[in-house]
Amino acid sequence: MKLPVLKAFSASAAYFSMRIGDVVRINWLPVLLLHGAMMILMPRYMEPVMQFQAMDPNADPAEALSAMGPAFQWMALLYLVMAIIYPMLIAGNLRPIIRGETTSLPFHLQFGMDELRVLATYILWVMLFSVVCVAGIIAVVAVSATLSLLSPLVGGVFTAVGALALMGAVVWFLMRMSLIFPATIAERKIGLPDSWRLTKGNSLPLFVFWLLWVLVFLALGLLYLVIVLPGYFGVIGEMIAAGQDQVAQQAAAMKMNQMQLDMWDISKPGAWFNFILSYVYTIITISLWNIAAGTAYRYITEGGADA
């Protein structure tokens, strides 16, 4: 059925507020482990990144690659942690909504077949999305180049129109894939085909539904940045004002990275406050994203969701 946008949006918000205890029980331990790993790994990742940025732009490429080597190692380890924790969070938040499964334990820490299927679904989605984007870009560039040989004006117009059309196609594709995780939990298999089938005819309602949630997350994200990284927007302004000045751009990038490093450095004043705020922010956002997706799935497949 057609997704009732406002009804589904309200039901998602109501589910979160009325079952906040379940939300906390499902998310608190995995998110704590994730943030603990980030507090250990992020400083080790950021330090070589900052050393790399401080190098002479004309430095030997082998020397630059050597400087970045430790960063690659720590980032790989962080991705491994996220590949374990995020499927736990996605499956843990969706199971009560989709299958009505709950736990009486005071915490949720499980990695089984549901989590493996969620991880596999995500990997396949990234691969498919990359192919769609690359193919679309190649098509637009190829046609634009061909038309530019005939008429630069026509080629320029097509480039602008083609870029807009490609953006629209990408958004449409994202809407068709926006229920992959609820479908994975519901069907106990890779959810890409089911999401594609279920969202047929619902691209516009889903776009409006997710746009409402994006506005919510944007407000939460801005509030989070203002509190945790109060100088962030000032540095963004410096980067914009720098224009083509590479030295100024590099200095602004160094400032931004130093802010991120300080955020995870427990020896810095306010680090524990930032840790707690980031911890709470992650619980809210990850649970809301999945509650919204699960609620939309329930309305489309069953015509309603019990909030």
* Range in 107-111, 181-185, 250-254 the model is least confident about: 250-254
pTM over 0.75: yes
Please indicate, yes or no, if residue 50 is contained in any of the structural domains. yes
Please indicate, yes or no, if residue 37 is contained in any of the structural domains. yes
Q: Is 149 exposed, middle or buried (0-12, 13-18, 19+ CB in 10 A)?
A: exposed
Amino acid type, 47: E
User: Given this model, what pLDDT does residue 208 score?
Assistant: 97
Give the best-scoring range by mean pLDDT among 141-155, 235-249, 278-292.
278-292
Please indicate, yes or no, if residue 307 is contained in any of the structural domains. no
Please indicate, yes or no, if residue 103 is contained in any of the structural domains. yes
| Residue corresponding to tokens 């029980």 | 25
What mean pLDDT is reported for the chain? Answer: 90
Spatial distance between the Cα atoms of 87 and 68, rounded to a whole number of angstroms: 29
Spatial distance between the Cα atoms of 266 and 273, rounded to a whole number of angstroms: 10
Region 44-56: what's the mean pLDDT? 79
What is the tens place of the pLDDT at every residue in 4-19? 999 999 999 999 999 9
User: Given this model, what pLDDT does residue 304 score?
Assistant: 55
Q: What percent of the chain has pLDDT over 70?
A: 97
Q: How confident is the model at residue 66 (pLDDT cuts 50, 70, 90)?
A: confident
User: Given this model, what pLDDT does residue 107 score?
Assistant: 87
Q: Give the number of domains in the chain.
A: 1
User: Given this model, what pLDDT does residue 250 score?
Assistant: 77
Cα dihedral 44, 47, 52, 54 in deg (nearest 10): 180
Confidence check: pLDDT of 99 > 80: yes
User: Given this model, what pLDDT does residue 57 score?
Assistant: 67
Please indicate, yes or no, if residue 84 is contained in any of the structural domains. yes
Please indicate, yes or no, if residue 214 is contained in any of the structural domains. yes
Q: How confident is the model at residue 270 (pLDDT cuts 50, 70, 90)?
A: confident
Domain that includes residue 255, residue range = 5-302
Region 31-43: what's the mean pLDDT? 92
CA of 289: how far to CAs of 16, 216, 303, in Å? 10, 11, 20
| Residue corresponding to tokens 């994203």 | 289
Region 71-84: what's the mean pLDDT? 92
| Residue corresponding to tokens 């709470």 | 280
Q: How confident is the model at residue 122 (pLDDT cuts 50, 70, 90)?
A: very high
What is the tens place of the pLDDT at every residue in 154-206? 888 888 998 999 999 999 999 999 999 999 999 999 999 999 999 999 999 99
Spatial distance between the Cα atoms of 70 and 68, rounded to a whole number of angstroms: 6
